[in-house]
Structure 1
Amino acid sequence: MEESIDRKLLVRFMQGKCNAEESILVKKFLLQPKWQRALDELLDEDFKNFEVDLPDEELSNAWNRRFQEKYIADPVRPLWRRPWLGYAAACIVMFSIGLYFFNTNKTAGEKQVVAAMLQTLNPRGQRSRILLPDSSVVYLGAESRIRYPEKFGLGNREVSLTGEAFFEITKDRAHPFIIHTGEVQTKVLGTSFKVDAFEGKNLSVSVATGKVQVSKKIAGTDSLQSLAVLVPGQVVKWNVKTQTAAVDIVDAEGVRDWKDGTMTFVAASVSDIAENLERWYNVKINFEDRKTANYHVSLIVKGTDPLTHTLDIICNTTHLHYKIKGHTVNITKKGG
């Protein structure tokens, strides 16, 4: 008989409250393509209500019955994903000379509300912690920029990001939180996740806790195309050139640790690691032989450690040599 999974367990997993045994069970469940497709559809439906609290017994049982009937009772039925539905934008935000405007209709007349826009820009070698008007916290990475209103209005809570940041969003069902990153937007209610959105680079959204919806704006319209609905331990990667999205597994703990200054790399190219080190330590890293930049290593980088500590690990692992002169690091083959 096919295995199913209980909604309460999924919700606890999304909230990061599962024990080790339960986490293994859920992750095993998510790795099965059939159940991943089924879960995607159900999460896509449930996301309209943004339910992240533990459901009551009746709601939980109803969800379990729906899951059983739709994906287990009829083994012949193919599990093709239904076409993604676009979501109309909840409000249109216009940024102009540091101000944004939105309309309310509390009275017969139209009232215009104006709020100042704030911006935090981190140069290379600098990271910062930002407290937003709703008490949400943003850990902004080096060479990154975020724009947000001095005070959130009556509609959605909206910010724009260029670069990378970890978000801890204060829960507010009535006012979804939206991060704009070019043509892609990320929508949540109250959760923690990391966004990588550097200009000209592929974008990724990694979830530590809660549920996150990532969508793409459809050019020339106010509609959105859903790219993914993510739960803890999942990441969606958006390829700018091919305009395609792929969902993968990620270490949720590693995602959380980033805000505390720890970067985790798994089978990453030396060039990708170097790019991150350049931002974090405000240096320029050059490779004498570009082929060496394509070597792959796995390591954990702590931002509090000196740069030389990380370079020692990389070079000892790949049989390379480095030399630092001012803010420039030159990497060569040993003996070169």
Structure 2
Amino acid sequence: MPQQLRIEELTIDDSFINYCLAKNDEDIVYWEQYIEMHPNDLPIIDEARKLVIGLRLMLTEEYAFQVKDENENVAIDNELQIGNHKSSFNYRRVLGYAAAVLALAVMVWSAVSYSSSTKTNSGPELAQQQPLDSSREIVSVEGERKYVLLPDNTRLYLNAGSKLLLAKGFGTDNRSVVLEGEAMFDVTHNAALPFVVHVNDYDIKVLGTMFNVRAYPGEQSEATLVRGQIELTVKRNGEKIILKPNQKIVIPVFNDQHPVQNHLSLDSLSYDKKNVIVETAWTENKFEITNETFSRFAGRMERWYKVKIIFADAVVAQYPFTAIFERESIDEVLKSLQLSYHFNYKINGREITISK
């Protein structure tokens, strides 16, 4: 979120509109947490919320009780209540402000769109890693996933067991971050300040796009592009790779003793039966396995369920599985996997032992 909230920007922000109209649980939680952490911004948020609801009423030409969306109906009705009585004065006041802000919001949106379209995609070369600001660290512990709005309005989804550090001057002098773990970024366009993600083995530079990065220590890494374009630079040899939409690059754990295994591979994204992108399904709280060995996805399972998995048999560790889970417990997941291959497991607190 910007350092200083502006009413006109809030009124055209999709996340804020969803919060005002009670349309998205994730956005509601985010803004409730934001208000709790930034109580001084409450007057601006309250005024912007009245304007959003006023705009909704004006554009639909309906009163609150006529809106078909039940959640939205409640949100609008609450906004127009004073005690137990409707306030026609406040209603007209909101609409008056709404008309003015609608015009202003359209001008702001048009100016931003025009500015973005006239700027070229060329920018400075990939910046060297900036000094980090330890006070601007975002952490998602095992068993937890976070949704965060960065200071430049970039949306960040941080997977379990992950950490993101912002560089000093982020949003003003640079847009450089360091990632350990997995995150999906929906980057706000700014040609003057390319968004740079640093991980252990490579750097990614973008202008405005949506992509997913998985870079857990000691594990094979992946960069997945959903929209836009990204440039990946391998630190080891300086090799540059341009990713296009619906492509992903797989980066192995570099090994000096077995250089043949250091080959990078470019693949297409995977889709499940419901046309959901497998590589980013975790952002929808779905744990997807696509023809992976037990040992390959065990690390993800450990972070997802906050457990420790021990293989007592090497054969079981190589069993391949394909499955999708959403709200199942770890016990339910293991029982489901047993339907494909026979194995035994024992749960002792947070430790799970898998045997043949």
One-letter amino acid of the counterpart of residue 254, structure 1: V
| Residue equivalent to 2:111 | none
Q: Does 1:298 align with 2:298?
A: no
Q: Is the 8 A contact 1:156 1:175 kept in 2?
A: yes
Is 1:229 aligned with 2:242? yes
Output one character per residue of 1:47-84: Cα deviation in whole Å (capped at 9) or x when no partner. xxxxxx999xxxxxxxxxxxxxxxxxxxxxxxxxxxxx
> How far does residue 287 in structure 1 lie from its aligned partner after superposition?
2.1
In the TM superposition, residue 152 of structure 1 has moved relative to its aligned partner by 2.4
Alignment partner of 1:249 is 2:268: yes
Q: Could you tell me how far apart the structure 2 residues matched to 1:124 and 1:283 are?
A: 8
Distance 1:168 1:88, change over 3 A: closer
Unpaired runs of 5+ residues, structure 1, are: 1-52, 56-86, 100-116
- 1:1-336 pair list within 5 angstroms: 89-95=125-131, 98=133, 117-149=135-167, 152-217=170-235, 224-226=238-240, 228-239=241-252, 240-241=254-255, 242=259, 243-251=262-270, 253-302=277-326, 304-333=327-356
Matched residue of 2:338: which SS?
helix
| Deviation (angstroms), 1:150 | 6.8
Measured against aligned partners, the alpha-carbon deviations of 1:233-269 in whole angstroms (never above 9, x if no partner) come to: 2110112223431101222622332212113221100
SS of the residue corresponding to residue 205 of structure 1 reads: strand
DSSP 3-state at the match of 1:317: coil
Residues 91 and 155, structure 1, Cα contact 8 Å, conserved in 2? no
Cα offsets for 1:32-57 (capped at 9, x unmatched): xxxxxxxxxxxxxxxxxxxxx999xx
Q: Deviations over 1:115-149 (max 9, x none)?
A: xx511222222221221111111111111111014
Distance 1:288 1:217 in 2: 37
- TM-score, normalization: structure 2? 0.58
**Kept in 1: contact 2:130–2:176 (CA 8 A):** no
Partners of 2:289 and 2:242 in 1: how far apart? Answer: 24
DSSP-derived class of the 2:264 partner: strand
Residue deviations 1:273-298 (CA, integer Å, cap 9, x gap): 22211111111112221211011111
Q: Is the 8 A contact 1:283 1:328 kept in 2?
A: yes
| Contact 1:169/1:177 (<8 A) preserved | yes
**3-state SS of the aligned residue for 2:239?**
strand
Offset of residue 155 of structure 1: 4.8
Distance 2:126 2:305 in 1: 39
Distance in 2 of aligned mates of 1:138 and 1:118: 14
If each structure's helix is expressed as a fraction of its own residues, which one has the higher value?
2
C-alpha RMSD of the superposition = 2.5
The 1-side partners of 2:152 and 2:221 are apart by 26
Aligned partner of residue 354 in structure 2, secondary structure = strand
User: Which residue identity does 1:176 align to in structure 2?
Assistant: P
Aligned residues of 1:208 and 1:255 also touching (Cα < 8 A): no
Structure 1's 295 and 187: CA in aligned 2 closer, same or farther, altered over 3 A? same
SS in 1 for 2:337: helix
1:272 partner SS = helix
If you compute each CA radius of gyration, which structure gives the higher value, 1 or 2? 2
Structure with the higher fraction of residues in strand conformation:
1
Compared with structure 1, are the counterparts of its residues 94 and 172 closer, same or farther at alpha carbon in structure 2 (3 Å cutoff)? Answer: closer
| Local SS of the residue matching 1:172 | coil
SS in 2 for 1:312: helix
Q: Tell me the number of residue pairs that the alignment of Structure 1 and Structure 2 aligns.
A: 226
Instruction: Indicate conservation of the 8 Å contact 1:186/1:215, yes or no.
Output: yes
Cα offset, 1:321, TM superposition? 2.3
Percent identity over the alignment is 28
Deviation at 1:218, TM superposition (A): 5.4
